[in-house]
Amino acid sequence: MTYDFNTIEKKWQDYWAKNQTFKASNTSDKPKYYVLDMFPYPSGAGLHVGHPLGYIASDIYARYKRHKGFNVLHPQGYDSFGLPAEQYAIQTGQHPAVTTEANIKTYRRQLDQIGFSFDWSREVRTSNPEYYKWTQWIFIQLFESWYNNDSNKAEHIDTLVEKFASEGNTTVNAACDDDIESFSAEDWNNYSSEQQQEILLKYRLTYLAETEVNWCPALGTVLANDEIVNGVSERGGHPVVRKKMTQWSMRISAYAERLLQGLDDLYWTDALKDIQKNWIGKSVGASVSFNVNGHDDIIDVFTTRPDTIFGVSFMTLAPEHELVSKITTEVQKAEVEAYIEKTAKRSERDRMADVKTISGVFTGAYAEHPFSKEPIPIWIGDYVLASYGTGAVMAVPCGDQRDYDFAKHFDIAIPNIFEGVDISKEAYASKDNVKIANSDFLNGLAYKKASKLAIYQLEQLGQGEGKTNYRLRDAVFSRQRYWGEPFPVYYVNGMPQMIDKAHLPIVLPEVEKYLPTEGGEPPLGRADVWAWDTESNTVVSNDKINHTTIHPLELNTMPGWAGSSWYFFRYMEDAANRDGVFASEDALKYWENVDLYIGGSEHATGHLLYSRFWVKLLKDRGFVNVEEPFKKLINQGMILGTSAFVYRVKFSVNHSLNSAGIANKEEQQKHLEEISNILPSLYISENLVKEKSLIEVDEYFKENYLDKYETKEVLEKIKSYQENHNTAESVNIHVANIDKLHVKVQYVNASDELDIEGLKTDGEFGEDFKDAEFILENGVYKVGREVEKMSKSKYNVVNPDNIVADYGADSLRLYEMFLGPLEQYKPWNTAGITGVHNFLKKLWKLYVGENGLKVNDAEPTKDNLKTLHKTIKKVQEDIENFSFNTSVSTFMIAVNELTAQKCTSKEILKPLLVLISPYAPHIAEELWSQLGNNDTISTAPFPVFDASHLVESSKKYPISFNGKMRFTLELPMDMPKDEIEKTVMAHEKTIAQLDGRTPKKVIVVPGKIVNIVG
RNA sequence: GCUGAAGUGGUGGAAUUGGUAGACACGUUGGACUUAAAAUCCAAUGUCCAUUAGGACGUACGGGUUCAAGUCCCGUCUUCAGUACCA
């Protein structure tokens, strides 16, 4: 009986499905454990071998936890709203729901064949109306919430309305827009309902505001900051410009501090926490108000260095700052306006790329120093950003390099306020090891004390206070797309109104085309039935809009991160009980949050931050019990593709055109082109071009392959050309270029040799290569190789389907783990899979011989037990440390040892299967059943490690001389130190090594090593 | 620039608390079996010197601590990732 993996794997996959082996229960005596993968977007290309990496890791962990006696929830679903389906729809007219459905089918088939222990009964799809009903519901909760900085949590908007009605807004400490005017309770009660709504909108956790957004014209939509990479769209690489639009925003900034503090309690890597910390960007300092001479206006600045207040020698405002036009003097007006115009023209990208150039203009106005009352010139400069802090800075050139450079450039004074520091060359930006000087009451103090005192004194003057700033911006929540969640919002007189929860979901309307309208409205602007009837509470035809009972609906849709910000809660509820709730109280209470979350690090500042934000809101409002969604998080690395290249030699025909008439010249050109056209396509093997210049390659060709391109036909053409144009000048054919072209990796073997026949008969590219000639080295064509991201366009994608068909799912699972540490980026190399495949065959042979099962009740030997228990210990440690690659080697060692020991003992081989089962579940199940078990192996208890089997009676000591190991010596474990020394010193090899010298010192570490010094 | 991670044979990687560097695989070479191939099995495989015995050198580079350093400390370089005029 051989290892027939295809049959075995199918058999057990069917068994698991039929018996619902991995269905989780919401009631159990066992402790709970929730293992989650970041759910995939079902793209049209299907899975490649890189996708399952994280799923395999989480599956191993989930299966391990089941063996360890946990009630495991391990669900899977689809993030099925998204741009690619929409773009495909734009191109083909195919409804995104249709393509999405088809893609999900492919994904499911591919996932199933890998043998994951998912509980598919709890599947979620973000594009399913029954699901996005609750995404819409959460949006309404955000709309009906405000953030109370005093209680430090979100509260229902009604509590705010009560406060306004009884106290006005002056006692309210809320996270809100900064352009709010104060009003009394009386004012509030006298406001019209519309005025009140307008004010409330400035407090709500999701609000409508005119914001400057990242507009991507090519995609026709707005992008969030984290959807932009290097100034272009993450998807498609299209340019992005700044544009003002009215958009829904999420007041995530209200949670900045809690998002930061919350990180401390999470078992995430420091690397990931740092990314979020940087993104939140907390800086502690002070706000300082400067009076403007001759005006009533005040310039507020934010500074992290209030201790350097006496070093201020000028101020700089962002060119967009609202006071610029007001305070600029007549004399400076023209120059200032010209500068503003110039900077406005420069795109954000230009400004970013060009950090070196210093530019700015003096406004002519002066501010007053809060303490010294000295006049301070006010400049504008584009190094100050309107979007951060207050859009204005107090410049301290001796303590900040940018201020220093600016001052030097414009010849502004640079007062030194640091004791004993030389600032003639550059600013001294460090806060440490320095005392303040020339600063009145701050003299002699260090950073901390000086800052505190400066803030205190500013407070006394009423011109400043301690302040904390965050870089985290509110998140734009509107997208001008079709394939996303519709908002449950309609507009009455331009004011947004929420649709009552009872009438959700608001289902995406049908449209004819998925493009924005000609008038620039989002695709939903094309829907005919997209108005809200407040009487029937249904969506009705647009032509019924009367603005009294029937109103227009919101045309934007929600961004991709809406549905993924809460899906982990949806899985907690049994599919059968999901009707009235997003997840029942009991389910939420039982599962709490995700114990282990595995996914890519690219979501660090997007999904992972937004999810945390929504969970905190749901917690504040009492809908869930947890403050954080993901307790432990692991980022799996990416599996990269190994691209293959062929080198196409491009020839060009060279002949100086003679000075004959123009008509003749054109004809000549034409003839030369004709010659070019019949030049053959030659592909040259890698090492013949590697590290060679074009000239060298040209020479090489002239020497060796002249006949390949100066064919009879070509020579004849040249001859006739020469005759035609009456010239004797030689016509030159030379190598002009070498193109590096991707070829499909499937035609390349492990030794980088190209299967030329395969390539020539390829369905897609065969035509291109049909007549190509390949120049070989040592009889083969070697391709060039390079490690790149796996992508369809690079032809380096390896499909798991083929791997599963050729080697089996267990081989694929083991191999993906064996490749290297989970978190690491690593290239895929199919050749290596034979290693793990051979291991599985060896494992099989350990149990099954030619005449059937070999396993018997033989008493295990000492060696058998030692191998087993050392394996138990190592594998358990490895799984708990997510070091899956090393446990695969451990299995290999165990099987090699047991094979050498000719072990047939059931007492050893049965628990071994449980160890391997999380990694290679199919073969484990099959052998488990062959051993006579009638039940699935998946809940069999994990073997218990017994240290007594590993106790050794002797130790092979490495004997080293001056730290270099020379030989080993087997000595009893219990031999005392001085005895070891005696034995070693008396050993003939030691005497030979010492060669008559007397050692200075002998180090003996019992159980470890002996080192002889001297 | 700042923040973080990493640099080990031909390749992927191992060495979890300082204690035999290169486990386990891939690849390569040689051998067995076979008419042949595949499959399987056996052996060798860090580099250099040496017939052997053995020796020298080796974990990006330069120093240091230690009986002993891939591992700890100081400095430098390179690569990758995040972020970017953040006051």
Report the SS3 class of residue A327. helix
Say what the pLDDT of residue A231 is. Answer: 63
Could you identify the residue whose CA is nearest to the C1' atom of nucleotide B6?
A824
Say what the pLDDT of residue A118 is. Answer: 97
CB of A925 within 8 A of CB of A15? yes
Binning chain A into helix, strand and coil, the percentages to the nearest 5 are: 40, 20, 40
Nucleotide lying nearest to A470, CA to C1' measure: B86
Q: Which of A150, A138, A199 is nearest to A174 (CA)?
A: A150
Number of Cα atoms under 13 Å in the Cβ half of residue A808: 26
| Architecture of the domain delimited by A800-932 | Orthogonal Bundle (1.10)
Distance A682 CA to B58 C1' (A): 44
Distance A920 CA to B14 C1' (A): 22
Say what the pLDDT of residue A453 is. Answer: 93
Distance A1014 CA to B57 C1' (A): 21
- The CATH class of A25-135+562-639 is alpha beta
Distance A882 CA to B61 C1' (A): 33
Q: How far apart are CA A13 and CA A338, in angstroms?
A: 72
Structure tokens at A689: 């071009």
A161 burial (CB, 10 Å; 0-12 / 13-18 / 19+) is middle
Q: How far apart are CA A730 and CA A708, in angstroms?
A: 19
Start-to-end Cα distance in chain A: 61
Say what the pLDDT of residue A29 is. Answer: 92
Say what the pLDDT of residue A658 is. Answer: 56
- In CATH terms, the fold of domain A952-1013 is Ubiquitin-like (UB roll) (3.10.20)
| Architecture of the domain delimited by A282-470 | Alpha-Beta Complex (3.90)
Could you identify the residue whose CA is nearest to the C1' atom of nucleotide B14?
A886
Could you identify the residue whose CA is nearest to the C1' atom of nucleotide B28?
A751
Please list the rounded mean pLDDT of every run of 10 residues in chain A (1014 residues): 88 96 93 96 89 95 96 96 88 92 95 96 95 96 96 95 93 88 92 93 92 74 67 70 83 94 90 89 91 91 92 91 90 90 66 70 92 93 85 91 90 89 83 85 89 93 91 89 95 94 94 84 92 95 94 94 95 89 90 94 90 96 95 91 84 65 66 76 77 77 78 78 72 79 80 79 80 77 81 85 92 94 88 91 90 89 92 94 93 92 92 96 95 94 92 83 82 83 82 77 84 82
Nucleotide lying nearest to A877, CA to C1' measure: B16
- As ranges, strand B nucleotides with an atom below 7 A of a protein CB are 3-5, 11-16, 19-21, 23-28, 40-41, 55-56, 67-69, 80-87
Question: DSSP per residue over A583-606, as a string?
Answer: S-HHHHHHH-SEEEEEE-GGGTTT
Say what the pLDDT of residue A352 is. Answer: 56
Could you identify the residue whose CA is nearest to the C1' atom of nucleotide B54?
A966
Q: How far apart are CA A34 and CA A583, in angstroms?
A: 15
Structure tokens at A813: 């699972």
Structure tokens at A815: 């191999």
Distance A750 CA to B26 C1' (A): 10
Q: How far apart are CA A96 and CA A301, in angstroms?
A: 49
Distance A806 CA to B30 C1' (A): 30
Domain boundaries, chain A: 25-135+562-639, 282-470, 640-794, 800-932, 952-1013
Q: How far apart are CA A798 and CA A51, in angstroms?
A: 11
Q: Which of A613, A803, A675 is nearest to A141 (CA)?
A: A613
Nucleotide lying nearest to A605, CA to C1' measure: B82
Q: Which of A815, A797, A792 is nearest to A53 (CA)?
A: A815
Q: Which stretches of A20-168 are DSSP H helices? A: 52-67, 83-92, 96-112, 129-143, 157-167
Q: How far apart are CA A372 and CA A635, in angstroms?
A: 54
Distance A977 CA to B64 C1' (A): 31
Collect all residues with Cβ–Cβ distance below 8 Å to A226 and sequence separation of at least 6. Answer: A234, A605, A606
Distance A819 CA to B62 C1' (A): 34
Nucleotide lying nearest to A968, CA to C1' measure: B20
Q: How far apart are CA A820 and CA A637, in angstroms?
A: 10
| A1009-1013 contacts at long range (C-beta below 8 A, 24 or more positions apart) | A1009/A957, A1009/A958, A1009/A960, A1010/A957, A1010/A958, A1010/A959, A1010/A960, A1010/A969, A1010/A980, A1010/A981, A1010/A984, A1011/A960, A1011/A961, A1011/A962, A1011/A963, A1012/A959, A1012/A960, A1012/A961, A1012/A962, A1012/A984, A1012/A985, A1013/A961, A1013/A962
